[in-house]
Amino acid sequence: MTALAAPPTSPGKGRPPQDPPRKRIRKGGAGRTMKGGWLSYLILGVALLISAFPFYWTIVAASRSNADLAQVPPSLLPGPNLIKNFDAVLEEADIGKALLNSLIVSGSITIGTVLCCTLAGFAFAKLKFRGRGALLTLTIGTMMIPPQLGVIPLFMLIAELQWVNQLQAVILPGLVSAFGVFFMRQYLVQSLPDELIEAARVDGASTARIFWSIVIPIARPGMAVLGMLTFMTAWNDFFWPIIALSSQEPTVQVALRQLGGGYVNDQSVIMAGTLLGTLPVLLVFGLLGRQIVGGIMQGAVKG
Amino acid sequence: MSLTATAKAGPRPSGTGPGPDDGRAAALRRTWRKASPYAYIAPFFTLFLAFGLFPLLYTAFVSLYRVELQTSGEMEWRGIANYTALFTDEYFWISLRNTFTIGVLSTVPQLAMALGLAHLLNYKLRGRTFIRTAILLPYATSVAAATLVFAQLFGRDFGLINYVIGLVGFDPVDWQTGTVASQIAVSTIVIWRWTGYNALIYLAGMQSIPHELYEAAEMDGASRWRQFIHVTLPGLRPTIVFTVIISTIGATQLFGEPLLFEGSISGGISHQYQTLGLYMYEQGWGFFHLGRAAAIAWVMFVLIVVLVGVNALIVRRRARKEAGR
């Protein structure tokens, strides 16, 4: 589920997607600069509460017993059973293995996607070759078609290769990101001056050398944003993993389905599992949230 | 810049020094320089062809065959039989209708609220970075996690939402078996996860609207509301089209929410919230009819093309109308 695209109004040309330019927009006179009144704060406050409440509730429910949750009125404060519920999750769905699998899958997809897309993005941005326009159009054109629609032949392919239930069945198709190529191309068109490449060529540097010594360092901020977004999307992916993997070799999302799907009917244990499966990505988000917001405002992502 | 320095300081590539093979080496280098771009796109395109493009195109082919999950290597020609079977299946039509109603129920409020939130976020606010980040938090959760939490909140007997409804004095709602109620519940999950994301997209669009337009409107005596209608909305049109199209595509393939809401593959006892995406999964991996599932995928594709086309047409017509005024 990675239909990714950039909105037509992605603001401004010639600016790398970084924090300082956004300030420039503010000072430069675009947008509105009116101050928000108390009503704005009130509405936004309510919106934030609604955004955050399900997370809070997960913690509350995960730290209580099933009997507590069947009480009216329900308790709204965390209870003492968190560790006990975590133990139950580890026992019933082998979530430890699932977490490890998710880490392997998301990590490989992130590294692979960022590398593949930077290479291709660089070629599309700065190298001249026959068929460049057509290939780029083809790549961008498929961005509008959800990958879900190709899932049946993909499954047949994976079955043919006897990869069902093996992590590479999720990793390899995950490396295909038309959005990533588009994103890196845009980034490099804007932030890598042609003169720099020409100068290096005059000095006798090969394209490979130019890529490693000039392109990669300049592309690094863009690669970081793409990496974070790819990691989140890969970690949260649900549709393809539940088709390609099973309970023997699950990712966290597949394991969560087992918890919800009836093996266990202990609500507090389900919530504890949900909490375990969400924590890593929340951690990433907590650390890098600002950059993720910046990345999304620059070149929209849909996962 | 240190980058250029490292490039310059590095060893010169072979061939710069004079030698007997100089001409041949130079020719070789020239050939390589022409061919090397393909080496850069090769890793992506190899994977793209194998795991992206080929399955997409091959789906149409598979949809004309009888293919069963256990013996996916054997294919038996069926012509359009998969499609005729589909169109006579009552559950296909139910899931098609559900996809449409859940799509409207989730997309319209989601985008309307996102627009409002973006408008507020565009004001000068204390802690705006914090608010922006916090509002995107739901986007960081997975479909699976969000759905499990909401399924609990929407529980019939002990769910928090019914409890609150009870406090206000209404009867509890059966969020799982009622058709409208269950579709509202499923839509709520979608709305919760995506509103903040869309708000940020709108905010980005709003910030690219020139400030002078607002100043001019203010001089003409336009109220804040009229400024929103006559300056913000038109300036935001391309962004709105983008979000409408993306949300439409997302809604057409909705899958995880209806699957996990109650854990049933059929989308409720009477298929009351089964979407096309879930119907495809049920046919393919529940009943093992991969050929039939491929036909559903192809129908979804046509549906997306039609919906996106209709959206684009409406927008273009409206734009022309306004230009004529």
Instruction: Please list the pLDDT of chain A residue by residue as tens digits (303 residues).
Output: 333 444 443 433 344 444 444 443 443 344 455 777 888 999 999 999 999 999 999 999 999 888 888 777 778 888 898 999 998 888 877 888 999 999 999 999 999 999 999 999 999 999 999 999 999 999 988 888 888 899 999 999 999 999 999 999 999 999 999 999 999 999 999 999 999 999 999 998 888 999 999 999 999 999 998 999 999 999 999 999 999 998 789 999 999 988 866 555 788 889 999 999 999 999 888 888 888 888 888 765 433
Would you call A147 and B56 a contact, using CB atoms and an 8 Å cutoff? yes
Q: At B77, phi and psi to the nearest 5?
A: -60, 130
Q: Is the ipTM of this complex over 0.90?
A: no
Q: Is pLDDT at B6 greater than 50 in this prediction?
A: no
Give contacts of B48 with chain A, Cβ < 8 Å: 139, 176, 178
CA distance B276 to B234: 34
Shortest Cα distance, chain A CAs vs residue B54, angstroms: 8
Would you call B51 and A9 a contact, using CB atoms and an 8 Å cutoff? no
Measure CB to CB from residue B140 to each of A150, A153, A232 and give the nearest one. Answer: A232
Helix or strand or coil: residue B119? helix
Shortest Cα distance, chain B CAs vs residue A111, angstroms: 13
Would you call B290 and A152 a contact, using CB atoms and an 8 Å cutoff? yes
Peptide bond preceding A17 in cis form (omega within 30 of 0) = no
Measure CB to CB from residue A262 to each of B146, B242, B263 and give the nearest one. Answer: B263
Measure CB to CB from residue B52 to each of A142, A214, A271 and give the nearest one. Answer: A142
Give contacts of A252 with chain B, Cβ < 8 Å: 142
Shortest Cα distance, chain A CAs vs residue B228, angstroms: 11
**Terminal C-alpha separation, chain A:** 6
Burial of A15 (0-12, 13-18, 19+ CB in 10 A): middle
| Residue in B with minimal Cα distance to A236 | B142
Across A285-297, b (16+ Cβ under 10 Å) vs e yields: beebbebbbbbbb
Q: Average pLDDT, stretch B235-264?
A: 91
Q: Is pLDDT at B160 greater than 60 in this prediction?
A: yes
CA distance A16 to A294: 11
Model confidence band, residue B19 (pLDDT cutoffs 50, 70, 90)? low
CA distance B51 to B54: 6
Measure CB to CB from residue A153 to each of B62, B192, B197 and give the nearest one. Answer: B62
CA distance A89 to A74: 23
B123, A34 Cβ separation under 8 angstroms: yes
What pLDDT score was predicted for residue A28?
Answer: 38
Shortest Cα distance, chain B CAs vs residue A289, angstroms: 6
Model confidence band, residue B195 (pLDDT cutoffs 50, 70, 90)? very high
Would you call A152 and B284 a contact, using CB atoms and an 8 Å cutoff? yes
CA distance A132 to B41: 10
The segment with the largest mean pLDDT, out of B69-73, B115-119, B239-243, is B115-119
CA distance B261 to B152: 9
More confident residue, A251 or B35: A251
CA distance B67 to B73: 8
Q: Average pLDDT, stretch B93-122?
A: 95
Give contacts of B131 with chain A, Cβ < 8 Å: 44, 48
What pLDDT score was predicted for residue A7?
Answer: 43
Give contacts of A156 with chain B, Cβ < 8 Å: 62, 67, 72-73, 290
Across A114-132, b (16+ Cβ under 10 Å) vs e yields: bbbbbbbbbbbbbbebeee
| Tokens encoding B125 | 């606010």
Candidates A4, A32, A122, A237: best to mutate against B (most CBs of B within 10 A) is A32
Candidates B69, B111, B142: best to mutate against A (most CBs of A within 10 A) is B142
What pLDDT score was predicted for residue A245?
Answer: 93
What pLDDT score was predicted for residue B3?
Answer: 40
Candidates A9, A59, A242: best to mutate against B (most CBs of B within 10 A) is A9
Shortest Cα distance, chain A CAs vs residue B12, angstroms: 6
C-alpha distances out from residue A155 to A139, A245, B206, Å:
22, 11, 42
Model confidence band, residue B206 (pLDDT cutoffs 50, 70, 90)? very high
**Terminal C-alpha separation, chain B:** 54
Average pLDDT value over all residues in chain B: 88
Shortest Cα distance, chain B CAs vs residue A130, angstroms: 9
Closest CA relative to residue A261, chosen from A238, A240, A287: A238
